[in-house]
């Protein structure tokens, strides 16, 4: 298939998670065959439903009190044990227990805020990684 924008450039077909995507190597345009957008939207809806179900279960039974962040709890626990480490090193998210994006294993940042929900565009972006 030739690119509708570039006219004479042959597009590459990429299959990712059962979705066939046509990509133009010149203009980087992306085209979907009939029914492929429906597959993407259906996948996004499934992910959103799973996320909402998980979020509801966490809100019903929170692991930590909402007024105190994980950072403060860890700091206070170490201080009470005489292990007063300097958690605020100024080196970004290099503290133990946080991933490279600044979230702990429960999905909270160092201020106790939950991880941002993925939007539909984020899910589409994940397809091309």
Which class in CATH covers the domain with range 1-57?
alpha beta
CA distance 109 to 125: 23
* Residues of the chain above pLDDT 70, percent: 53
CA angle at 67 for the pair 95 and 104, rounded to the nearest 5°? 25
SS3 42: helix
- pLDDT at residue 53, rounded to an integer: 86
Task: Please state, rounded to an integer, the average pLDDT across all residues of the chain.
Answer: 73
CA distance 129 to 127: 6
pLDDT band at 54 (very low <50, low <70, confident <90, very high): confident
Average pLDDT of the residues in 5-27 = 87
Q: Where are the domains of the chain?
A: 1-57
Mean pLDDT across 24-48: 86
Whether 79 contacts 85, CB under 8 Å: no
Yes or no: say if 4 and 28 are a contact pair by the CB < 8 Å rule.
no
Residue 23 pLDDT > 70: yes
Confidence of residue 101 (pLDDT cuts 50, 70, 90): low
- The DSSP annotation for 82-113 comes to T-------SSSS-STT--TTS--TTSB-TTSP
DSSP state of 88: -
pLDDT (tens digit per residue) in 55-75: 887 766 555 555 556 667 676
pLDDT at 39: 86
> Token pair 């201020």 is at which residue?
111
| DSSP E strand boundaries for 1-129 | 12-16, 19-23, 30-32
């Amino acid at each position: 298939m030739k690119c509708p924008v570039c006219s004479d450039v042959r597009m590459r077909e990429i299959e990712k998670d059962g979705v066939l995507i046509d990509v133009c190597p010149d203009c980087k345009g992306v085209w979907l065959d009939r029914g492929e957008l429906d597959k993407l939207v259906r996948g996004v809806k499934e992910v959103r439903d799973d996320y909402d179900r998980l979020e509801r279960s966490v809100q019903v039974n929170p692991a930590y009190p909402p007024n105190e962040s994980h950072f403060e709890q860890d700091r206070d626990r170490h201080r009470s044990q005489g292990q007063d480490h300097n958690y605020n090193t100024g080196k970004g998210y290099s503290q133990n227990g946080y991933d490279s994006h600044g979230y702990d294993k429960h999905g909270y940042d160092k201020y106790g805020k939950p991880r941002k929900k993925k939007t539909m565009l984020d899910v589409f972006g994940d397809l091309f990684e």
